Structure 1
Amino acid sequence: MLQNYKYASVNCLNQQAIADTPSFLFLWVGDGVGLEQGRQCLKKWGFRRCEDVCWVKTNKKNASSGLRHDSRTLLQHSKEHCLMGIKGTVRRSTDGHVIHANIDTDIIIAEEPTDGSTKKPDDMYRIIEHFALGKRRLELFGEDHNIRPGWLTLGKDLSYSNFNKEAYNRSFADNDGKVWLGGGGRNPPPGAPHLIVTTPEIEGLRPKSPPPKN
């Protein structure tokens, strides 16, 4: 997930160097012109936009209105968008060990920070963690409040880190110590060490795709 979206700096990142196939990217783009710039970034990095999560800001705790008056817009904006991009192809019928589909919605209704912080709703993490079953989770442009178990957070404003190299590498290794290095363009098989293992109980709760029409 990319925080603090700035087109000039984000556009020059070489995502291809670290993104396996398949992989997913979640990019906060604000609203307005950021939507188009975000789509351009996804395309440049080899991702195609597949979803758009919208954060509707409630501002219940903020005495002053969070609506932004911008001379470039026709309406007052009270929302932000997070574009979801996919690299490769993942099918619900065959790749249920890679993704969980239809668990969350594409709308987050949450309070906007009152102190001018760029902090995003924690619900976004839960959506990502519910959907993508890969353990390799990287957040760029993170701050201290973004540090989260199971994620590698990078950012120039971090004052500390929860990163442990040995523990990080062990989480991607199988019982023989073999680490998943990438699928070479192929989707990982069930039981690949870099995927979160599900249980029969979880599978019983998984929303199923509708049966094909005759």
Structure 2
Amino acid sequence: MIDPNEWVRAFAELIEQHTDELTALDAAIGDADHGSNLRRGTSAVVETLADAAPGSAAEQLKQVGMTLIRTVGGASGPLYGSFFLGCATALGDKKLDTTDFAAAFRGGLDKVVARGKAELGDKTMFDALAPAADELDRRLAAGDSLAAALDAATTAAEDGSDATIPMLARKGRASYLGERSVGHRDPGAASAALLVLAAWRAAQ
């Protein structure tokens, strides 16, 4: 089972470690603020959860989503916020365990799609999250533990992030660059891969 607090703390730690990298990626095809925006937002989330009264996993995930929307600038706040709100809605009164976690993750992905209208190959965070969700479902259906399934999902997310490098951006600010967006990793896909990695760490 995954504790939402552990997941968010692990994500915040990874964002802190990779802030400069994410900012550099965004400098190439965006506003050069993806890393700093996410660092501010994830730090705020960690503080919010630490100060909040204990609640259900869904209530905590809802707090995460609302805090990210409020504190992260640009498109990242609404997208990551929507992901966690979607997780909360899909989870309901259940806990973040095995197939319930997969259902919550899929619910989060669906909310990202609803918000950003992205498809596979658009060079967005969806290119990392969608393969991760598919791999998570496959591994759990095959009988893997949640930790093992998330290990495989992390690899799928990282591969999806790598796959954005040769893509032509079709969404977001990077799409304004046309052919110049080719050859650069999408910063959203890079941070999304860190989100999956954080879930794996929280599942240990």
With structure 1 as the length reference, what TM-score do the two structures score?
0.32
| Larger Rg over CA atoms | 1
* Higher share in strand: 1
With structure 2 as the length reference, what TM-score do the two structures score?
0.33
